[in-house]
Chains A and B, each alone.
Chain A
Amino acid sequence: MKSLVNDKPNLFNIFYLEAKTETLRLFRTPGFSIPTLLFPIMFYTFFGIVFSMNPATMPTYLMITYAVFGVIGPALFSFGVGIAIERGQGWFDLKEVSPMPASAYIVSRVSLTFIFASLIILLLFAIGAMFGDVRLMRWQWIALALIFVLGSLPFCAIGMTLGLYLKSNSAPATVNLIYLPMGFLSGLWLPINFLPEIMQQFANLLPPYHLAQLALKITDMDLGFPVALHVSVLAAYTLLFMFLATKAYHKKDKQ
């Protein structure tokens, strides 16, 4: 009896070990951990606090948008760049033939994204509260953190698709080319109403814009569109890219 039970693989343990090793690996890859942690913090300190145009609202507003910027970074990079590189090195194939369930691979990367996202959120909240005089109700702080963490999911899907399509040597550059302009155009660097009208219209197509609007609703700083719109756009993006990722995965198998 005892051996039978032990022979059954403990799914949670697999998930945990995979996530732990991946996390360790990423923390030991300064090329990933330092920019993803540092960029949002640096930009926020710079634009949101030191050169804040309006000390009353800007630190709060930009803390939220840079947190969005911060959480989509690890999602795009750990999935997009990570998978592309592992495919290039053949590591991805090795994992595929290992007895580890495929879900562990995804779960570990999602939890990795959550861990990095949480770190960024905690750092930004601490800086905002200490140096930007950001004052929010307890529920607002918590709701924001939850929105940010869960809001990284659509970007995990986008990252996964990118990782499966892109070539390993071009992936970091391509992901950066998507990440940075998308952040800017979605009004994550500067408040969206500072951008020209036409760019504001265009932002409607971009998922970070919708995540930011959702979060800004918590502090009553959003543009006033319904929650359902933002949620459904984000959900649509998630589904679309999950579908594309599955397609890419099967296409890869046939090659």
Chain B
Amino acid sequence: MKIKILAIIICIVLFFMFLPEPTLEKTKTKSGSTELQKNGPSQNFIIRNVRFYDGNRLFNEVDVSIVDFKVAEISNQLPAQKEFAEIDGAGKTLLPGLIDSHTHAFQSALEEAINFGVTTELDMFTMPEFANDQQALRDRRSNTQSADLFSATILATAPGGHGTEYGFDIPVLSTVEQVSDFVDQRVEQGADYIKAVYSSDKSKIKYSPSISREILAALIESSHRRDRMLVVHVDDLVSATEAIELGADGIIHSFMDKVADQSFVELMVSRKAFIIPTLSVQASVAGLTNGTKLLSSLANTDYLTRQQRSQLTASFPNFGIPAQGFNNALESVSRLAKAKVVVLAGSDAPNPGTTHGLSLHGELALLSLAGLTNEQVIHSATGAVSKVFPVGRRGRIESGDLATMVLVNGNPFQNIEATKDILQIWKNGVAYVRKTYDDAVNPLQKIENGLITDFDQQEGSVFNRVKIGKGLAETTDQFAGGKSTVAISLKDKIGSGQAATNHYLHISGELRSGFMFPWSGVAYMLGESMQQGVELTDVKYLVLDAKGGSQTEQISVLLFQAGSLSPIQVDVKISSQWKNYRIDLDEISNLDRKNLTNISIVRAQQLGKFEFMIDSLKFE
């Protein structure tokens, strides 16, 4: 009997030993080092004589006490409390945790956001799988290491419209009948609001196919029936006007084709509609390098990952929008703000030229440049958001709220740049230690010059015959949902006499439509992963021999920087004879040679069959 009971107890103990535990991810970061962070304010503390903005109103020189993770009292003079840490707030400003009203959140977006005091992100298109995981966390007090997420999940767009170019297989709208089910599905998948992409039939330039006016009207009606707001991505004034006339709650992007006219301003006022201008990304679309400027304005870039830094310096392909377009956008925002239309700060990170967290500060500076007062600007990333979006108490600090706030040095109400000078971030009452990503902690492999491959090495498969880097691989747009094909083989140079030892790489295939940017060819993998590449600073030229097939006269070299899916493209004209080509890396603008992940040699864009050959790849 005793043995039986003992056996059962042992079984139960073993059972509990085998129950799975969560795997803890260890981040390769150094913890921050400012005095305030080291001492990590205890859970009860008082910030004294601080300039304090509660999301709606500004108070000069008040004391704010935090008890049990919540804001307890805000008063002119609080008595000292035993065992309360005291923080001197003189010359500093306490703001609610900032809200970025337009991002695309995936991967480490929300950790990057909180690292710059952005404690809430309103996502405007991501995959529901990511959104749902994060939405489940946002009402937990324990969620102190990343920003809270609200999400539109999948956006509403037309077949082939904006939003489909990223290669995700998303539902699209082509008839009014589909709308109601589409909205129901979004709501069931956890959409906090619905986002649509619309371009009017009257638009002068259509960048991609758009849903019809009738579909937009049905979307607005269905969204409101399900108690969700509808926000609309627009590229021009006429589309914006139609969207608001149809009853949309707000528009995204301050269009650049024209300045908002008086009738549009009046329409926005009468409909109580809001605008998220996303000036950061508009500047980037217009070819301005504001992301690079933002990066260089930082005294310390260690709070950004390498990937974020390359996002900031990345640029869009040329859309043919003049820089003047950006001035139109600024002027429109100025007019709308003067008429008291609600303007919300949104960065549209991580589009080229923007990144999560930091770019919201860039957006604040641009809104200030547009002529908003600094108080309006800070309101647009705090209290104004909670008046419009269903984000609960976020963006405000009142007595009884969980202390989610940012202490900055200086006075952003005089100088907007001060928002970047972050002294301390608290999320749900817990002091957040900013993560630093020092290059020295984790240096990348530096590539030396030399022969990469002449394909003559006897051993290994065709893909392993490289002396530098990781190897070769087939690459096509199938990776992004396209349909192009490729075949790679080793062939011998005819007439060389030493056929067996003089190989070259033969690449053929067909570019088929299916992805916006069709490509097919061979990828030369340099780095460990999509996030971690290699340093190519000592390399000046990429050298290769190449020869075209019967009709192939041009190939493209795509240079991928870590974390970026949009490569830098260099076109090379080739002929039906073997020739030597030298690509001068110095001449490629915007190329950050510090972190390259792969160099692909492909046929790109022109549809149809192709054939080309390469040999003797070298770095010089």
Residues of A within 8 A of B (CB): 16, 54, 56-57, 118, 122, 125-126, 129, 134-138, 141-142, 145, 220-221
Contacts and interface: CB of A to CB of B under 8 A. Distances in A.
B20 interface: yes
A129 B18 CA distance: 10
B12 A135 contact: no
A12 to B, nearest CB: 11
B262 interface: no
Contacts of B190: 54
A136 B18 CA distance: 11
A220 to B, nearest CB: 5
Contacts of A145: 16
A108 B604 CA distance: 78
Interface in B1-28: 1, 12, 15-16, 19-23
B489 interface: no
A137 B16 contact: no
B22 A135 contact: yes
B140 A136 contact: no
Given A135-B21, A137-B22, A56 B133 contact: yes
Contact of A220 (B15, B132, B141): B141
Given A220-B140, A220-B141, A122 B21 contact: no
Would you list the 10 A-B pairs with minimal beta carbon distance, nearest first?
Answer: A135-B22, A56-B133, A57-B136, A141-B19, A135-B20, A129-B20, A220-B142, A54-B132, A220-B140, A56-B136
Contacts of A57: 136
A52 B16 CA distance: 25
A57 B139 CA distance: 13
Interface string B139-158: 01110000000000000000
Given A135-B20, A136-B20, A142-B16, 9 more contacts: A57-B136, A122-B12, A122-B15, A129-B20, A134-B20, A135-B21, A135-B23, A136-B21, A220-B142
A118 B12 contact: yes
Nearest to A137: B21
- The number of chain B residues touching the other chain, given as a range, is 10 to 19
Contact of A138 (B16, B23, B133): B16
Contact of B22 (A54, A118, A126, A136): A136
Contacts of A118: 12
Nearest to A135: B22
B19 A129 contact: yes
Contacts of B21: 135-138
Contacts of B12: 118, 122
Nearest to B140: A220
Contacts of A135: 20-23
5 contacts: A129-B20, A137-B21, A141-B19, A220-B141, A220-B142
Nearest to A125: B19
Contact of B136 (A54, A125, A136, A137): A54
Contacts of B20: 129, 134-136
A63 to B, nearest CB: 11
Instruction: Name the residue in B15, B133, B142 with the highest tally of chain A Cβ atoms < 10 Å from its Cβ.
Output: B15
Contacts of B136: 54, 56-57
Nearest to B11: A122
B143 to A, nearest CB: 9
B133 A141 contact: no
Nearest to A142: B16
B19 A136 contact: yes
Interface string B11-49: 010011001111100000000000000000000000000
Contacts of B15: 122, 125-126
Contacts of A54: 132, 136, 190
Contacts of A16: 1
A138 B22 CA distance: 9
Nearest to B139: A224
A230 B19 CA distance: 27
A142 B20 CA distance: 12
A145 B141 CA distance: 24
Interface string B57-69: 0000000000000
A221 B140 CA distance: 8
Contacts of B19: 125, 129, 136, 138, 141
B393 to A, nearest CB: 14
A137 B190 CA distance: 28
Contacts of B141: 220
A129 B1 CA distance: 31
A50 B171 CA distance: 24
A103 to B, nearest CB: 21
A129 B136 CA distance: 19
Nearest to A145: B16
Interface in B407-428: none
